[in-house]
Amino acid sequence: MSLSEVTDSPKIASLKGVGAKTLERLAKLNLHKVQDLLFHLPSRYENRTSLMPLGSVKPGDQALVEGLVEVTEVIARSRRSLVCRISDGTGFLYLRFFHFTGDQLSRLKPGARLRCFGEAREGYYGTEMVHPDYQHIADEEAGHVDQSLTPVYPSTEGLHQKTLRSLVERALDLCRENDAILKEWIPESVLSALEFTPLFEAIRVLHQPTADAAAEILGQAQQRLAFEELLAHHLSVSRFRNHMKQQAAPLLSLPETISKQFLDSLPFALTGAQNRVIHEIAADLAASKPMMRLVQGDVGSGKTVVAAWAALAALSSDFQVAFMVPTELLAEQHFRSFSHWLEPLGVHVAYLAGKHKGQIRRETLEAIADGRAGAVLGTHALFQEEVKFHRLGLVVIDEQHRFGVHQRLALREKGARDGLYPHQLIMTATPIPRTLAMLGYADLDVSIIDELPPGRSPVKTSVIPSTRRHEVTARIDDWVKGGKQVYWVCTLIEESEALECEAAENTTATLIEALPNVRVGLVHGRMKQVEKEEVMASFKSGTLDLLVATTVIEVGVDVPNAGLMIIENPERLGLAQLHQLRGRVGRGPGDSFCVLMYQPPLTQGAKERLGILRETSDGFVIAEKDLELRGPGELLGIRQTGQVQFRIADLARDSDMLDQVKATAEALLEHHPEAVEPLLRRWLADGVRYAEV
């Protein structure tokens, strides 16, 4: 028997009597194996461990009750319903069902004994429960209630709690029979040093806690599982990193003369931080293993020029560079900067856009394939099968948080040739808190541009209610009279791009009317690419004063003369995203301002979050707070990319464990390598795993 057969959990389908429909619904919750059921933890518990006498049930109580049916009737008042009265000698209670079957009706005959759980409310005839969870019980079962709390699981349409509960019970039974399913892979010494609950016990407690189980016991059980999950992620990343270290990459270097020629052509001198990061990159490129470097730098810190320097190093060593960005708007902008910077040095810069079709596309693809195109800018279009590089030496990815780990690695594989892998440079303005960096980014070395170009002062941020909209509008008028430009950002409404665009259109109309002397433009996600570009170009050249935009301007847009930004409904966005948006201003000389115009009333949490933005412009502080307040998924846009999604661990809650996780991972890799693969199998869905190594 192979190792995987021993450690792989049986499929839920192998449990007796689980129908196809149920399996389908379970699959929607991503539950396929018995082990998935075990890790599908309750979101809450109901206490059904004691019976309440019917005479003492009051509206608002959530109660477990028992009684005998006295009378059942179908009543066709305003809405047809089945009403059933039960009593237990202390009083009575009405059960009401708006949906019911004939079978249900016929079984609720006088004398039937029922146990019901639900919330009581004031009804037409007296206290009632609407659609209680009920069961028929035999007389001898009367009064024999559950000893443990009743778990309530996250579920999906058509999948009953009862089904889930019974499946979990069977899964637990199966583990009792076959301890290979939940085999303990963490060495005994570690478990006892950390005073951890054994794995099976932790899982059992969480599914079936006793009524008096202290929150502490549940907390310990949860920690035990979170630890193992974090450990598995850490192992996956470390193993991948070790694997990468054994690969070869081309040696790239930039002759001093070309470097000087490039830097002299810039209208500014590099900051100390930019210089330092360039040195770090140069050292990586000159080594024979692939660089995997993340450059973090706040918005406006000047990452693009650093990337251009790295690109030039690859180009002068006769290799190509792929430069990938998340949006076409940004690709266009970088295409312009790169052409401007690199073409005087004899580099052919190409741009591959999704919109390019036919002849143009063919020609661009050819130039990439035969190596004429040295630097290639593009969106994720660069991943496509048809894009073939001649000699790819460096991959630069801008605004990494928009791409998943897998996309990043895919581009790398694509460039591999003759046993050489391209170097990777990843740039992000979203500072990655230490905790996340350790997991999702542990395969990367990190450089930080912690200095803004001179003459930038922090953006002054104010938080005001939309009831003061007219004041804001008046301020725009003054600002524009001073020869400066303004952004007005309309944020996502109800997750609908269509509505967001509509809101932006309405706002534009209102502003045009209120500000006759201001030239107003609009960009939103539903406009044609050419239209968007035209508007952006007009704003950049100064023929528009005010740009109304949806969040499409979030990344990278650079218009130094725009020093005022109004963000509508900022309470809907995460801190990191707001910080990114705000980074569009404060790029030129003079003071700049950001007005966060919220829709009152503001919740306490939202007040706190917006307050953080007002107080600090330090991207790291903001990212840490964002993680604390919202959790890691949203912070990095991970939900969409499936990058680091935990089943049980919660980085905001469990970050204390990370040092221990790291130490345990190292110990396992060194002394118990046989435990690594089973742990990865247990915890990481196939899609989350780093490249198979």
The amino acid that residue 537 corresponds to is: A
Per partner kind, with CB cut-offs from 5 to 8 A, the member of Mg ion, ligand ADP, none near residue 302 is: ligand ADP
The answer to whether 374 contacts Mg ion (rule: CB under 5 A) is: no
Per partner kind, with CB cut-offs from 5 to 8 A, the member of ligand ADP, Mg ion, none near residue 558 is: ligand ADP
Residue 304 CB, shortest distance to Mg ion, in Å, is 5
CA distance 606 to 491: 15
Region of 64-72, 134-142, 358-366, 553-561 interacting with Mg ion (CB under 5 A) = 553-561
Region of 41-49, 123-131, 360-368, 548-556 interacting with Mg ion (CB under 5 A) = 548-556
Q: Which CB atom, from 453 or from 642, has the smaller least distance to ligand ADP?
A: 453
CA-to-CA dists, residue 322 to 44, 281, 366, 371, angstroms: 48, 16, 15, 12
Residue 562 CB, shortest distance to ligand ADP, in Å, is 12
Residue 306 CB, shortest distance to ligand ADP, in Å, is 8
CA distance 197 to 182: 13
Residue 190 CB, shortest distance to ligand ADP, in Å, is 42
Scanning 482-574, the segments in alpha helix (DSSP H) are: 497-514, 529-541
Region of 65-73, 443-451, 554-562, 657-665 interacting with Mg ion (CB under 5 A) = 554-562
Q: Which CB atom, from 330 or from 573, has the smaller least distance to ligand ADP?
A: 330
Q: Which CB atom, from 219 or from 272, has the smaller least distance to ligand ADP?
A: 272
Residue 440 CB, shortest distance to ligand ADP, in Å, is 21
Sort strands 127-130 and 113-122 into parallel, antiparallel or unpaired: antiparallel
CB burial string 438-451: b at 16+ within 10 A, e below: bbbbbbbeebbbbb
Per partner kind, with CB cut-offs from 5 to 8 A, the member of Mg ion, ligand ADP, none near residue 223 is: none
Furthest CA-CA distance within the chain: 98
Residue 322 CB, shortest distance to Mg ion, in Å, is 16
* Residue 112 burial (C-beta neighbours within 10 Å; 0-12, 13-18, 19+): middle
Residue 334 CB, shortest distance to ligand ADP, in Å, is 9
Region of 352-360, 480-488, 551-559, 581-589 interacting with Mg ion (CB under 5 A) = 551-559
Residue 259 CB, shortest distance to ligand ADP, in Å, is 15
CA distance 456 to 592: 9
Q: Which CB atom, from 303 or from 401, has the smaller least distance to ligand ADP?
A: 303
Q: Which CB atom, from 300 or from 637, has the smaller least distance to ligand ADP?
A: 300
Q: Which CB atom, from 54 or from 306, has the smaller least distance to ligand ADP?
A: 306
* Residue 424 parent element (H or E): strand 423-428
Scanning 343-468, the segments in alpha helix (DSSP H) are: 358-369, 405-415, 434-440
Calculate Rg over the CA atoms of the chain: 31
Per partner kind, with CB cut-offs from 5 to 8 A, the member of ligand ADP, Mg ion, none near residue 490 is: none
Scanning 108-214, the segments in alpha helix (DSSP H) are: 161-177, 188-193, 199-207
Size of the site for Mg ion (CB under 5 A): 1
The amino acid that residue 208 corresponds to is: Q
Region of 246-254, 505-513, 556-564, 594-602 interacting with Mg ion (CB under 5 A) = 556-564
Q: Which CB atom, from 305 or from 493, has the smaller least distance to ligand ADP?
A: 305
CA-to-CA dists, residue 280 to 95, 291, 381, angstroms: 72, 10, 29
Q: Which CB atom, from 429 or from 665, has the smaller least distance to ligand ADP?
A: 429
When binding is defined by CB under 5 A, the residue of 132, 302, 433, 556 that contacts Mg ion is 556
Contact of 132 with 118, CB cutoff 8 Å: yes
Q: What residue ranges bind ligand ADP (CB under 6 A)?
A: 268, 270-271, 274, 297, 299-305, 429, 453, 556, 558, 587
CA distance 5 to 9: 8
Per partner kind, with CB cut-offs from 5 to 8 A, the member of ligand ADP, Mg ion, none near residue 371 is: none
CA distance 423 to 403: 17
Q: Which CB atom, from 125 or from 268, has the smaller least distance to ligand ADP?
A: 268
Name the 3-class secondary structure at 344: helix
> How far separated are the first and last CA of the chain, in Å rounded?
22
Name the 3-class secondary structure at 243: helix
Region of 231-239, 541-549, 552-560, 599-607 interacting with Mg ion (CB under 5 A) = 552-560
Per partner kind, with CB cut-offs from 5 to 8 A, the member of Mg ion, ligand ADP, none near residue 270 is: ligand ADP
Q: Which CB atom, from 67 or from 556, has the smaller least distance to Mg ion?
A: 556
Contact of 137 with 60, CB cutoff 8 Å: no
Side-chain-side CA neighbours of 288 within 13 Å: the count stands at 3
CA 371 to chain centre: 37
Q: Which CB atom, from 562 or from 651, has the smaller least distance to ligand ADP?
A: 562
Residue of minimal Cβ distance to ligand ADP: 302
Residue 482 CB, shortest distance to ligand ADP, in Å, is 21
Per partner kind, with CB cut-offs from 5 to 8 A, the member of ligand ADP, Mg ion, none near residue 96 is: none
CA distance 380 to 328: 9
The amino acid that residue 266 corresponds to is: L
Query: Which residues contact Mg ion by CB under 5 A?
Result: 556
